[in-house]
């Protein structure tokens, strides 16, 4: 049953994420009136549109931007290009849902925030972890412990993000279309920060696009609504990716542990330590539908009560589908998004700062 009027929706990009996640999700929601797609490889766009019965097919995001019947647009393009696409759509008067990263430079992120102000439209970033029912449960516990002081102060936080196979447990029944041989996606323009040496661009983009999720999740749990998080220290290997980054988030030391391993599924957990206990969440395989993060709650002995270790399970939901619902809800009812453009600008700033630290240590900046 729909909870609000249908939103007149279009989608840009028909690549992997669009076909396996967002187009089926938006198309299945009664709150979505899915009217058009744009795909730079037109035969691919037509196949996807035919399969999902989407009436209009365009070859560029600029065509959806010019379609007066569309009020909101989803975007999953190449990660260094999609910030420019999103900014064009906002300036054309569309609300935008977009995949992470929102931008790969503060300059583009600021352009997006400025475009929101100029057009009065809003952008939501697809940080699906913020819409995962298990992570929401952990956040509720963390907020309650902070408000009551019952477990003392927050003393430390860590995110362990070694990943593995991100498409583990993918639904084999989702129909997949490939672009015909000989068609290539448009090249991404150079959107990297001006100060970044050219030989570090690939490593920077690779690190940013993956661990932006992890930094954003720590900021969510530690309630960095003021956006004051900063980088304290950086220890990355010569690949510019494997290692440890120490952040200060609202006065709490928070560590991001990053590496790729060949784990068969997805290995990622986040732990918030209080003086009198901890809250821990373990991410599900990302493509596994209806499997939210699991939550562990440890309370040290207090008020004559024995120590306790509890596991909590949130109701079965798929974070990617929940974020789609949240976007449509926010557009239809004019309510704020939990992962807004101005909040995400902080993540983009932190990644520039991490790489500046890293390259200065190597005397390459």
Using DSSP, state whether 247 is helix, strand or coil: strand
CB proximity list for 264: less than 8 A, separation 6 or greater? 164, 165, 168
Q: Does 246 interact with ligand NAD (rule: CB under 6 A)?
A: no
- Binding letters toward ligand NAD, positions 20-59, x by CB under 6 A: ------------------xxxx------------------
Using DSSP, state whether 200 is helix, strand or coil: helix
Q: Which of 208, 263, 216, 217 lies closest to 236, judged by CA?
A: 208
What minimum distance in Å lies between the beta carbon of 11 and ligand NAD?
Answer: 9
Nearer to ligand NAD, 14 or 234 (CB): 14
Q: Does 60 interact with ligand NAD (rule: CB under 6 A)?
A: yes
Spatial distance between the Cα atoms of 73 and 61, rounded to a whole number of angstroms: 9
Q: Which of 141, 133, 157 lies closest to 291, judged by CA?
A: 133
Spatial distance between the Cα atoms of 132 and 134, rounded to a whole number of angstroms: 6
Nearer to ligand NAD, 17 or 300 (CB): 17
- Which pair of structure tokens corresponds to residue 15? 């690549």
Q: Does 128 interact with ligand NAD (rule: CB under 6 A)?
A: yes
Burial group, residue 41, by CB count within 10 angstroms (0-12, 13-18, 19+):
buried
Please choose, out of 6-14, 28-36, 89-97, 353-361, the segment that lies near ligand NAD by the rule CB under 6 A.
6-14
Nearer to ligand NAD, 180 or 307 (CB): 180
Q: Which member of 11, 34, 79, 97 binds ligand NAD (CB under 6 A)?
A: 79
Nearer to ligand NAD, 81 or 236 (CB): 81
Site for ligand NAD in 180-219 (CB under 6 A): 185-186, 209
Q: Which member of 49, 96, 151, 286 binds ligand NAD (CB under 6 A)?
A: 286
Q: Which of 251, 224, 237 lies closest to 349, judged by CA?
A: 224
Name the residues that contact ligand NAD, by CB under 6 A. 12-18, 38-41, 60-61, 76-79, 81-82, 85, 99-100, 126, 128, 185-186, 209, 286
């Amino acid at each position: 049953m729909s909870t609000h009027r249908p939103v007149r929706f279009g989608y840009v990009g028909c690549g992997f994420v669009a076909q396996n996640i967002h187009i089926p999700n938006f198309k299945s929601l009664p709150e979505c009136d899915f009217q058009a797609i744009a795909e730079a490889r037109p035969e691919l766009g037509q196949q996807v549109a035919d399969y999902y019965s989407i009436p209009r097919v365009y070859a560029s995001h600029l065509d959806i931007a010019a379609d007066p019947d569309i009020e909101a647009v989803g975007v999953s393009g190449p990660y260094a290009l999609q910030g420019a696409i999103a900014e064009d759509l906002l300036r054309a008067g569309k609300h935008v849902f977009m995949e992470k990263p929102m931008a790969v430079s503060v300059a583009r992120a600021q352009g997006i925030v400025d475009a929101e102000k100029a057009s009065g439209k809003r952008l939501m970033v697809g940080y699906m972890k913020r819409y995962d029912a298990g992570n929401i449960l952990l956040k509720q516990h963390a907020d309650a412990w902070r408000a009551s002081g019952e477990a003392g102060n927050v003393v430390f936080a860590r995110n362990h993000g070694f990943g593995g196979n991100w498409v583990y447990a993918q639904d084999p029944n989702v129909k997949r279309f490939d672009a015909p041989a000989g068609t290539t996606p448009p090249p991404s323009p150079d959107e990297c920060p001006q100060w970044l040496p050219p030989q570090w661009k690939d490593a920077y983009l690779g690190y940013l696009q993956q661990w932006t999720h992890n930094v954003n999740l720590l900021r969510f749990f530690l309630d960095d609504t003021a956006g004051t998080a900063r980088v304290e220290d950086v220890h990355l290997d010569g690949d510019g990716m494997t290692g440890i980054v120490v952040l200060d988030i609202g006065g709490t030391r928070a560590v991001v542990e990053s590496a790729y391993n060949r784990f068969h599924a997805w290995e990622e957990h986040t732990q918030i330590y209080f003086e009198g206990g901890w809250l821990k969440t373990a991410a599900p395989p990302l493509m596994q539908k209806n499997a939210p993060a699991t939550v562990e709650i440890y309370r040290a002995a207090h008020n004559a009560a024995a120590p306790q270790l509890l596991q909590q399970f949130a109701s079965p939901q798929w974070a990617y589908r929940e974020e789609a619902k949240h976007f449509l809800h926010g557009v239809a009812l004019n309510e704020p998004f939990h992962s807004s453009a101005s909040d995400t600008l902080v993540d983009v700033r932190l990644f520039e700062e991490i790489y500046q630290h890293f390259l200065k240590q190597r005397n390459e900046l």
